[in-house]
Chains A and B, each alone.
Chain A
């Protein structure tokens, strides 16, 4: 049965990592502008002609 306890601790730690990632992403302002990232990624980087 100890294996279940082990698994639970593992799963909660993984979930905790995601919680940490969420808090980090909010803190660094990644949700401040919900509009531009979706547009920005579609811009092509033109090869330099010169």
Chain B
């Protein structure tokens, strides 16, 4: 170590959000901040002596670079809107639930629950971390709803209020299964306890006590029979109504037979019945169901366009602006659309220049410039300045919302057909056959035992082992997948995933990362001086292509002599330190139209053509690898709303067999998936935006991809975090293992069943053996399913 000079990192991390500070001037109390927004949050917290926020976690905040428009929450002054958002109001206090997507760490939790220190009007704030919700009680004499929203925004937690929240009551979470499980567990454990004397051979002299135990068991089994097992009755009945025999039907039969025989035995004082087995099996099966269904409460798999639309927009009427809720927007209203606001209804631009980002609706990467008089469609996001739009179609009739009027979105989920049901049906017939055979045999041999034999067979051979192995395997696989950031909506998706043979990808946002662009220059070599000048000129424009070029060219000149003019839709031209530089379309620079395959910007210096910049989508790093891997087992297709500029690259990546579709409208995407299904393919669709939502719904498995699971994703069967996309192949393989594991567990349980049947057909099934067999088989099935699924996940190198 010859040189020991300390190298001071020139990169300062923002004290609030941890991002690199480009500017060293923004500081307060000897702490550096990346932007004014972050500094402001710090100052607010410091003023109220709440800097514990920063002690709990290192740089816990979120970047505040993008300032929130000051009158963004003006619509909260509207009493009608207030009424539909708040959950309770009395003379003093108002209760409201806010969804705060920025919430992510213990600091957030701490700060939000200390909210009352920031404002006296806040009575209480209780955070539900999993849902990222804050239930706030405030005194509406001291602070109003708008101020509250602005206060939260001020400290970096902007509440997300969408059209979806309007007037909709929170769905009550269904806890019935948990109650049923609790009751079943209680009864099962007590019945086991009461049964011990009988197992161990109670003294004959204690008949009175024995009878007492038996009747106590009978009483304890009543809640299980009538309440806990109701879960299976309902499910079996619903399936039967649709003329479908699911696995619950034979289980219900077994429960009834067991219960009836047990009562008969107790009443006639011929035996102690099988209350312990019956309650035990109900308990284990319910536990499996609860495990399988306890999916991801924090994720929402049912979003439609309403979750993306704002609650209200600004309407201009006779030069005065007012807030109007979305359903109240009428034809010929003039709406003021602010920077970064979503256009809620189709309309014509009447003032201002629009630059509209349709990436969400159509999948096009580039924002589109629109002039006055042109039509803009709902769902586009204005990224330029403020514009005014004359509404030509109401919200419900708009282009985007029409997609949801498609019949597809109205029909409920179809019949859940699982291989388990088929297997259980087959199994049930076999059991019936055995039961009848055993009954017939004993009818000839010893009539008194035939009834016993038949019921015993039915009791011991119910397909509960199959249901157990299925639910527990499903539950565990769901857990393994979610540990790897692949969240399934429901356990039935596992089986659907295992069955797919075609994968359809959306391009923008799915294969490519967001709207990031790669800039490639070809043409005459550019000197560093010219490069700086190009950077200087490109930096003048807010057009995304200019921004891309500015980023490519790097540093711009300091204090240049500059005169420039921007020609909307064409390009930009300017004098930079004596050189006339122009950037723009082929027509603008060369005077001729060119057939370019992708977004291309031409550069000329002093009137001579220098070269061109090509904009390529930036593919996620893992994509080539993943596609190569998937190609070997699946039919791959790419459906994109973008132009076909990427066709050669994708063709090279995917080979000749793959299908590539470009310039696809949302409906077209849906049709592509539909036609594939008509060919008999099982399709998995992976997409990210509203434009894919039709296809996601139509596909056998729709997977929404997101960079952050807190972000909004369209309705889908599963959500995958972008970082886990490379493991998609492993995830599918894991789902395929599901069936194998269930089968293995099932075969083992059949071995138990055969042992049980051995006793049962002889009519000598003692309660003791039944009591030992049942928990043994249940618990070993649990161990097997857990062991095998964890082994599988380790072999696939999933965490």
Interface residues in chain A, defined as those with a beta carbon under 8 Å from any beta carbon in chain B: 1, 4-5, 8, 11-12, 15-16, 18-19, 22-23, 26-27, 31-36, 39-40, 42-44, 46, 49-50
Given contacts A15-B189, A33-B128, A40-B113, contact A46 B52 (CB under 8 A): yes
B212 CB → nearest A CB, Å? 6
Instruction: Judge whether B179 and A26 touch: CB under 8 Å.
Output: yes
Residue among B130, B179, B189, B193 making CB contact with A33, cutoff 8 Å? B130
Given contacts A15-B190, A40-B113, contact A4 B209 (CB under 8 A): yes
| A19-B186, A26-B179, A42-B106 given; 16 more Cβ-contact pairs under 8 Å | A1-B206, A1-B209, A8-B216, A12-B190, A12-B216, A12-B220, A18-B186, A23-B182, A26-B178, A32-B131, A33-B128, A35-B129, A36-B129, A43-B52, A43-B110, A49-B49
Given contacts A15-B186, A19-B182, A43-B110, contact A8 B194 (CB under 8 A): yes
Instruction: Judge whether A36 and B175 touch: CB under 8 Å.
Output: no
Q: Number of residue pairs across A and B with beta carbons under 8 Å?
A: 61
Given contacts A1-B208, A12-B190, A16-B186, contact A39 B106 (CB under 8 A): yes
Task: State A45–B106 Cα separation when bound (angstroms).
Answer: 15
A38 CB → nearest B CB, Å? 10
Task: State A26–B177 Cα separation when bound (angstroms).
Answer: 11
Q: In terms of DSSP, what is the predominant structure of the interface of chain B? A: helix
Given contacts A1-B206, A8-B216, contact A35 B130 (CB under 8 A): yes
List B contacts of A23 (CB < 8 A). 179, 182
Cβ of B26 under 8 Å from chain A: no
List B contacts of A34 (CB < 8 A). 130
List B contacts of A44 (CB < 8 A). 52
Interface residues in chain B, defined as those with a beta carbon under 8 Å from any beta carbon in chain A: 49, 52, 56, 106, 109-110, 113, 127-131, 173, 175, 178-179, 182-183, 186, 189-190, 193-194, 206, 208-209, 212, 216, 220, 297
List B contacts of A16 (CB < 8 A). 186
Residue among B127, B178, B183, B194 making CB contact with A19, cutoff 8 Å? B183
List B contacts of A5 (CB < 8 A). 209, 212
Task: State A42–B113 Cα separation when bound (angstroms).
Answer: 13
Instruction: Judge whether A36 and B128 touch: CB under 8 Å.
Output: yes
CB<8 Å pairs between A and B, sample of 27: A1-B206, A1-B208, A5-B212, A8-B194, A11-B193, A12-B190, A15-B189, A16-B186, A19-B182, A19-B183, A23-B179, A27-B175, A32-B128, A32-B297, A33-B128, A33-B129, A33-B130, A33-B131, A35-B129, A36-B109, A36-B128, A39-B106, A40-B113, A43-B52, A43-B56, A43-B110, A49-B49
The chain B residue sitting closest to A42, CB to CB, is B106
Residue among B127, B216, B220 making CB contact with A36, cutoff 8 Å? B127
Task: State A32–B127 Cα separation when bound (angstroms).
Answer: 11
B790 CB → nearest A CB, Å? 22
List A contacts of B212 (CB < 8 A). 5
B210 CB → nearest A CB, Å? 11
B200 CB → nearest A CB, Å? 14
Task: State A5–B113 Cα separation when bound (angstroms).
Answer: 51
Instruction: Judge whether A40 and B182 touch: CB under 8 Å.
Output: no
List B contacts of A12 (CB < 8 A). 190, 216, 220
List B contacts of A35 (CB < 8 A). 129-130
Task: State A39–B57 Cα separation when bound (angstroms).
Answer: 12
B228 CB → nearest A CB, Å? 12
List B contacts of A43 (CB < 8 A). 52, 56, 110
Task: State A26–B220 Cα separation when bound (angstroms).
Answer: 22
Task: State A35–B109 Cα separation when bound (angstroms).
Answer: 10
List B contacts of A4 (CB < 8 A). 209
B272 CB → nearest A CB, Å? 16
A33 CB → nearest B CB, Å? 4
Task: State A5–B193 Cα separation when bound (angstroms).
Answer: 13
Task: State A40–B127 Cα separation when bound (angstroms).
Answer: 10
List B contacts of A49 (CB < 8 A). 49
A12 CB → nearest B CB, Å? 6
4 nearest interchain CB pairs? A36-B129, A35-B129, A19-B186, A33-B128
The chain B residue sitting closest to A37, CB to CB, is B129
A36 CB → nearest B CB, Å? 4
Residue among B110, B129, B182 making CB contact with A26, cutoff 8 Å? B182
Task: State A27–B52 Cα separation when bound (angstroms).
Answer: 34
List A contacts of B179 (CB < 8 A). 23, 26
List A contacts of B106 (CB < 8 A). 39, 42
Q: Which of A1, A5, A27, A35 has the most CB of B within 10 A?
A: A35
Task: State A14–B745 Cα separation when bound (angstroms).
Answer: 37
B195 CB → nearest A CB, Å? 12
Task: State A31–B178 Cα separation when bound (angstroms).
Answer: 11
The chain B residue sitting closest to A39, CB to CB, is B106
Task: State A1–B209 Cα separation when bound (angstroms).
Answer: 8
List B contacts of A40 (CB < 8 A). 109, 113
B247 CB → nearest A CB, Å? 27
Task: State A34–B173 Cα separation when bound (angstroms).
Answer: 15
The chain A residue sitting closest to B194, CB to CB, is A8
The chain A residue sitting closest to B106, CB to CB, is A39
Instruction: Judge whether A22 and B216 touch: CB under 8 Å.
Output: no
List A contacts of B128 (CB < 8 A). 32-33, 36
List B contacts of A22 (CB < 8 A). 182
List A contacts of B129 (CB < 8 A). 33, 35-36, 39
The chain A residue sitting closest to B131, CB to CB, is A33
Instruction: Judge whether A32 and B173 touch: CB under 8 Å.
Output: yes
Task: State A11–B113 Cα separation when bound (angstroms).
Answer: 41
The chain B residue sitting closest to A50, CB to CB, is B49
A7 CB → nearest B CB, Å? 11
Task: State A32–B190 Cα separation when bound (angstroms).
Answer: 28
B172 CB → nearest A CB, Å? 11
Task: State A8–B206 Cα separation when bound (angstroms).
Answer: 16
The chain A residue sitting closest to B110, CB to CB, is A43
